[in-house]
Homo-oligomer: A and B are copies of this chain.
Amino acid sequence: MQIVSTTHLPPAGFRRLHEHTLCMPDEPYYTEAELCDGRLRDTEVLIATFDYRVTREIIHAAPHLRLIANFGAGYNNIDLDACRERGIRVTNTPQPVIEPTAELAFALMLDVTRLTPLRDRQLRAGQAEPFGVMNNLSRSVYGKTLGIIGMGRIGQALARRAVACGMHILYHNRHRLSPETEQLYGAEYVSLEHLLEAADIVSLNLPFSPSTHHLIGAAELARMKQTAYLVNTARGAHVDEQALVQALRDKRIAGAALDVYEHEPHIAEELLRMDNVVLSPHTGTGTMEGRIAMCECVCDNILYFATNQSTKMNIVL
């Protein structure tokens, strides 16, 4: 098969595709024009990364396309209507993103409560408070309540970590989990309103859909405790970023840790100057180990497709 990747990925991750022809850009990404200019004429499989918009034009330029193997769990980068019309299959990589993303959510939660990035920055700039018993104090997560919005696989991987850190778990989800799964984390299913009012830390771990746009806006932030923190490692548009900036500026919540932004890669200027904020450049899955595991999962999907083992593929369309 002829395979094209929208994005430069580690070639070592695709050795198992050696029986096929794989084209990849030397630059980080092919431009849309490069893809539409004949390069996809014989392409049967397109590997796309979660940050690359696969438009109707690109799909139109690939008359033999049969599979888009997305690199990522989210696939809102792909024009699914255009795929549906042509019967093009779409797969994703849900498994390898779970642990790295939960790990980053947990790291960011500790960062914004224990203030380690702030202290590190202050020490480097020579602006830290002196060492001292009552200086440089922060907040502990031990004994606190974590409210997880979106209790899928990533939310549960976060809950597992939080329980070991002495936290209590509330969650809100489309569907309630089984009693056995709830018991595993001592997790209590509550309404969104209850969660926002009771949690010391609110973490967003749900996929994006039009119905979750601005799920957290001014009204929801107003429900949160003044001592509470917001952590978002899911999708930026879940949160009304301007409302968040205002809540942080007015100290209506204690802080926020963000890996994703409403107008990515743009970050609201004010966030960059706030000490009660920790910022990360959308790297939830961005570890060496995570990237390799995602490559392996893309290979699996393509090889199962090539051998007609569709039940083993991660099919989303």
- Verify if A55 is at the interface (C-beta below 8 Å from B): no
Type the 1/0 row for A122-156, where 1 means its CB is closer than 8 Å to any CB of B.
11100011111111111111110000000000000
B140 touches A289 (CB 8 A): yes
Chain-B contact segment, one of A159-167, A190-198, A214-222, A303-311: A159-167
A135 to chain B: which residues have CB within 8 Å? 28, 281, 286
Q: Which residue of B lies closest to A124 (CB)?
A: B272
CB of A94 closer than 8 Å to a CB of B: no
**Choice from B71, B124, B273, B287 contacting A139 with Cβ under 8 Å:** B287
A286 interface neighbour in B8, B104, B136, Cβ under 8 Å: B136
Q: Given the complex, which residues of B lie within 8 Å of A142, measured CB to CB?
A: 99-100, 103, 289
Q: Are the C-beta atoms of B51 and A132 separated by less than 8 Å?
A: yes
A166 and B278 within 8 A (CB):
no
Q: Judging by beta carbons under 8 Å apart, are B280 and A119 in contact?
A: yes
Contact A134 B291 (CB under 8 A): yes
The stretch among A106-114, A171-179, A238-246 that forms the contact with chain B is A106-114
Q: Is A121 an interface residue (CB 8 A)?
A: yes
Give min CB distance, A49 to chain B, whole Å.
5
How does the 8 Å CB contact mask read for A4-17 relative to B, with 1 for contact and 0 for none?
00011110000000
Considering only residues 44-60 of chain A, those with a C-beta below 8 Å from chain B are 49-51
Q: Is A264 an interface residue (CB 8 A)?
A: yes
Contact A289 B143 (CB under 8 A): yes
A residues whose Cβ falls under 8 Å from a Cβ of B: 7-10, 28, 49-51, 71, 99-100, 103-104, 106-108, 110-111, 114, 116-117, 119-124, 128-143, 160-161, 163-166, 264-265, 267, 272-273, 278-283, 286-291
Given contacts A28-B134, A130-B265, 8 further A-B contacts (CB under 8 A): A107-B111, A107-B116, A111-B111, A114-B283, A119-B283, A123-B267, A133-B286, A139-B287
Task: Please give me the 9 A-B residue pairs with the lowest Cβ-Cβ distance, nearest first.
Answer: A164-B164, A107-B110, A117-B117, A140-B287, A131-B265, A99-B142, A117-B120, A140-B289, A49-B133
